[in-house]
Amino acid sequence: MRLQLIRRDAASRLAMFGAPALALILTCLSSLILFALLGIPAGKALHALLLKPFLSWYSFSEVLLKMAPLLLIAQGLAIGFRANVFNIGAEGQFIIGAVCASAFPVFYPDGSFPMMLPAMIIAGGLGGMAYAGIAAGLRTRFGASEILVTLMLSLIAVQILNYLLLGPWKDPRGFNFPQTVMFPDNALLPLLFENVRPNISLIFALGASLFAYLMMERHFRGYQLRTAGLAPKAARYAGFSAPRMIWLSLALSGLAAGIAGASEVAGPLGQLQRSVATGYGYAAIIVAYVGGLRPIGIIASSFLISVLYIGGDSATVSAGLPVAAVEVFQGMLLCFYLLTFTLIRFRIQITRGATT
Amino acid sequence: MSALEFLLAGTLAAALPLLLAALGEMVVEKTGLLNLGLEGMMAIGAAIAFICVYHSGSHGLGFAAAAIVSAILAMVFAFLVIFVRANEVAAGLAVGVLGLGLSALFGKTYESLTITGLPEFGLPVLSQIPVIGPTLLTQDVVVWLAILGTVGLWFVLNKTKLGLIITAVGENAEAARAIGYPVAAIRCAAVAFGGAMCGLAGAYASTVYTPLWADGMIAGRGWIALALVVFGTWQTGRVAFGALLFGVLSLGELTAQAIGVAIPSQVLSSLPYIVTILMLVAISRHRHRASLQ
């Protein structure tokens, strides 16, 4: 007996909306069972995870705050993923972006540097782009797998961060904590609303989404990238330059991750500290996939994952849920998404007897 | 004891989780798949092993449970990639995140509890040798078993038909299928083996190396193991050698002390990753050239 997946002719719209919805339902059901087995009040936990974030303006604003970096990074990553360029190291580009941006307030802690904030954002973006560029260069020049190179670069970035925070960039009056000076006011992003933390980085993220949409769905370059992903040979025959696709994908995703990193230190953190490396770069990979690698889907999935983060925080208090539950939820969501997406796009055919 | 003696005594134990996880992943990659979920599979192995040993007092049971649970998690990856044809990068990361989350979830109530590790014993006669005898040649039973296992794996991969089939599946799956090898089943078995090895690696980390459970205790060892497979160019001996080397590096400060230079520990910690990138370039360039000729 043999199982075969047969591609359906016209189910893409169903897959686009059906797969994430079904995955979310399956994830909720499985985590209910898991929580029940672990003796965690499951209903209470799920209520906190999925509903609490909507019940107060403050929690909802925190969702928007989380959403900004996730959305920005994921939009960048998805462009590459669709062209089969797997930048797994957004975390590293995010950290390097944060580091590059921090250089200005670290060297001008009195805020005397003109155009401080724009300089930080640009430095962050360029830093992230250059860091991703290492992987692009090694891939196009030597054929080194960008998956492993970007991953290794991420781990090196953490060490660079540690080195700076424990050494040259440590705040001399910071009681030996591994963090830089607090940034001056002109190094901080303007807030979107009064009394809550979301800042204009959310606008960057939405702008990037619009850019990604226009490029991927409406522009010839996006068509080239998509072709490179779906049919590499066809892309080559059509004369689309593979190295250029690799450079473009990695540069754009590095740029986005770098700007996100800069926005994190110029936003909620207000200084460079170790906690800048909290895994946004990895979570954004999940966001990109659950969003179906499409710009509009990613807006929805980044919102959903942010809700889970904030809901997870409140569930630790109200339902005794460990922080790790959010990771479990994310992991399950992606597993179920990968499963449901295929099942909606393909149908299973069981052939008995002879194998081909 | 001097720093050098500490290094001799500690290197094998520090290298062991890396070695086990890397050898498992090496077999997976030999069949043509890449599982990025090592970190998570090691974490769940570590948590399960600790919980088992804490309640039963038996290390054997702990290691067995860790291997089984991690293999089950690895099968999620196998299922997604082999049967549902999901993207393997996404599937690997999903399994990794899931493993990390589950380990923290299960291990939560065991945080900061401790258990007893395993006693160390020396090789007969050889452990009488001064300096290396009481240090390098006095280890716990798992280390000795792992060395035997490494030799065994080398033998299977290089001297048996099974090894040939594994290589054939990885190098040309279509051809292997055409001559009647069950490619999917072999890949599944390899992934399960890889998962089980990660489980054992995690179990060693949480029940022998530092007999306690703490969230985040795998601390990047899974990524180093992944790097090791590349470093070792998919050959058992070189992977084992690399594990020792990376094991020494992971003892950062101590190593710096032993070789008597003041290097920031971050430089030492980055070395495995830098070396891996250089290896990737070297290997790929070779292949790049070969394909041009």
Q: Is A168 on the interface with B (CB under 8 A)?
A: no
Q: How confident is the model at residue B292 (pLDDT cuts 50, 70, 90)?
A: very low
Q: What is the CA radius of gyration of chain A?
A: 22
Q: Is A280 on the interface with B (CB under 8 A)?
A: no
Q: How confident is the model at residue B8 (pLDDT cuts 50, 70, 90)?
A: confident
| Structural contact between residues A180 and A171, judged by C-beta atoms closer than 8 angstroms | yes
How far apart (Å, rounded) are the C-alpha atoms in residues A221 and A213? Answer: 12
Chain B, 64-83: which have a CB under 8 Å from a chain A CB?
76, 80, 83
Q: How confident is the model at residue A321 (pLDDT cuts 50, 70, 90)?
A: confident
Residues 6+ apart with CB under 8 A from A202: A64, A65, A67, A68, A71, A192
Predicted confidence (pLDDT) per residue in A227-251, tens digit: 887 777 788 788 778 888 899 999 9
Flag if A147 and B34 touch (Cβ within 8 Å): yes
Q: Which residue of A has its CA nearest to B86?
A: A338
Q: What is the mean pLDDT of residues B284-291?
A: 65
Q: Is the pLDDT at A356 greater than 50, yes or no?
A: no
H helices of chain A, in order, are 12-37, 42-50, 57-82, 90-107, 116-142, 146-166, 201-218, 220-230, 232-237, 242-264, 280-290, 295-318, 325-345
| B122 backbone dihedrals φ, ψ, rounded to 5° | -90, 160
Residues of B with Cβ-Cβ distance to A320 under 8 angstroms: none
Interface test with A, best of B76, B81, B84, B188 (most A CBs within 10 A): B84
Flag if B86 and A338 touch (Cβ within 8 Å): yes
Q: Is the pLDDT at B291 greater than 70, yes or no?
A: no
Under DSSP, the state recorded for B79 is I
Predicted confidence (pLDDT) per residue in A71-106, tens digit: 999 999 999 999 999 999 999 999 999 999 999 999
Chain A, 297-326: which have a CB under 8 Å from a chain B CB?
322-326
- Across chain A, mean pLDDT equals 90
Grouping H, G, I as helix, E, B as strand and the rest as coil, residue A324 is coil
For residue A126 the two structure tokens come to: 């360029």
Predicted confidence (pLDDT) per residue in B93-138, tens digit: 999 999 999 999 999 889 888 888 888 777 777 777 777 767 777 7
Q: What is the pLDDT of residue A354?
A: 47
| A348 backbone dihedrals φ, ψ, rounded to 5° | -90, 130
Predicted confidence (pLDDT) per residue in A184-215, tens digit: 999 999 999 988 999 999 999 999 999 999 99
Q: How confident is the model at residue A1 (pLDDT cuts 50, 70, 90)?
A: low
Residues 6+ apart with CB under 8 A from B136: B8, B9, B11, B12
Predicted confidence (pLDDT) per residue in B228-243, tens digit: 998 899 999 999 999 9
Q: How confident is the model at residue B190 (pLDDT cuts 50, 70, 90)?
A: very high
Under DSSP, the state recorded for B139 is E
How far apart (Å, rounded) are the C-alpha atoms in residues A285 and A89? Answer: 10
Flag if A324 and B100 touch (Cβ within 8 Å): yes
Flag if B266 and A159 touch (Cβ within 8 Å): yes
